[in-house]
Structure 1
């Protein structure tokens, strides 16, 4: 296997399940040392057992500043620098029409998807090497609207705007900032839906299937690699064409 990330240090928030776990595994397989975060210790422990080598798990909520400070203190003590940051921690929000949106729902979505990303990037920056890469896990919901998901869609649109702005702000350090935005993907966010709703979503995708974690991970690793060294401020849709319909 090609070792594109040999000797590199990566941090993956929300790295214990789904896309984050798949990305962490792939980064380790290609030579990186990876720190993952999550909110459930037992799930983190399971992820470490799966990956086995070159992995450290830190229990942390991305929306809490004290947890993020703890994370990067550990990274600093253990490795001293960061080459790759994947802000993957996020939450969904299906089933909230305008009349049912609560302050709690808004806070939950924006604390994780936006505040969490801001705190994570802020915490990582002092440790990030020149020419390093930041990838934010977005969603086609940044440009494609879904009924009863307005707060979630707004949070993903905001995330894309943050990425474009940060790409300009960090240009002098040659830190690239990009978004990888999945469409419907075979993770809990899709599989927890009713069978009929899942089928309706999948049937609407031009390429005729939902994505899998490997589809998304391939795009993430490309954006982290030297192959994408001239790409910054970009949102890459990995969606089988779903954003087109």
Structure 2
């Protein structure tokens, strides 16, 4: 089996891209600890998944819970081969509608949570292991209504470069996967009415050069390539966006 004997942590692993990575790891024989915050999603993951899986409730916006996660991983898995930092959310809000509270929460989850997750779990990643972070095509594409989210994820991209330099002497690689429009239950955006969600999907197909959304399995394949196959790659970003970030004209 492809991942037999490997141990991995997937934050934000109860749905969408994170869950696709968890499934692929488990199918390959890995032992996985996944996190989520929504109790319904956590229960669903416990009911669905089989194999060596540990489902843990953890809120990336709460620093005390992030610290507790580090201890839970140490006690449950010991050293690990992969940490996939995938927790994140966005809100589709134009500049006049952004509040200080919403701004702070977006950065608390997407940015601060990612940073301190790495801080607490880095000592547990064995030589030859890796971090993979999720960012977004939005960081360089200027999507209306996504300025706060784009800024939060751009910071994560900068973190990953710094982490790659700091962890290289330990033999730990750090890379980033940057999805475009991906078919997930929420499309990565919270609180959209059904009609707005449909329009958002149609816009995604229209602006993506390959004229479709990506699948969660396509993102998972990229994550696992960076995690286990790209052994001489660190500090890099792999786009899974159908050409959107390159502004291809077709």
**TM-score, normalised by the number of residues in structure 2:** 0.92
Task: Establish whether residue 107 from structure 1 lines up as the match of residue 88 from structure 2.
Answer: no
Residue-pair matches, total: 241
Deviations 1:92-130 (A, max 9, x none): 1212x2222211111111001110001110110121111
Within 5 Å, give how 1:85-234 maps onto structure 2: 85-95=83-93, 97-190=94-187, 193-225=196-228, 227-234=229-236
Aligned-partner SS, 2:23: helix
Structure 2 distance, partners of 1:194, 1:35, is 31
Partner of 1:6: 4
Structure 1 distance, partners of 2:111, 2:203, is 29
Task: Establish whether residue 24 from structure 1 lines up as the match of residue 22 from structure 2.
Answer: yes
Structure 1 distance, partners of 2:200, 2:85, is 28
CA gap of 1:76–1:194, structure 2 versus 1, over 3 A, is closer
Structure 2 distance, partners of 1:230, 1:67, is 33
List runs of 5+ in structure 2 lacking aligned partners: none
**TM-score, normalised by the number of residues in structure 1:** 0.94
Structure 1 distance, partners of 2:16, 2:187, is 11
Detail structure 1 runs of 4+ shifted over 3 Å in the superposition.
191-194
CA contact (8 A) 2:179 2:219 kept: yes
List runs of 5+ in structure 1 lacking aligned partners: none
Aligned-partner SS, 1:143: helix
Deviations 1:26-71 (A, max 9, x none): 0111121000111123311211221111100110001212212222
Stretch moving more, 189-198 or 20-29 = 189-198
Aligned-partner SS, 2:209: coil
CA contact (8 A) 1:135 1:223 kept: yes
Partner of 2:246: 244
Structure 1 distance, partners of 2:76, 2:105, is 31
Structure 2 distance, partners of 1:196, 1:62, is 30
Structure 2 distance, partners of 1:40, 1:201, is 27
CA contact (8 A) 1:14 1:38 kept: yes
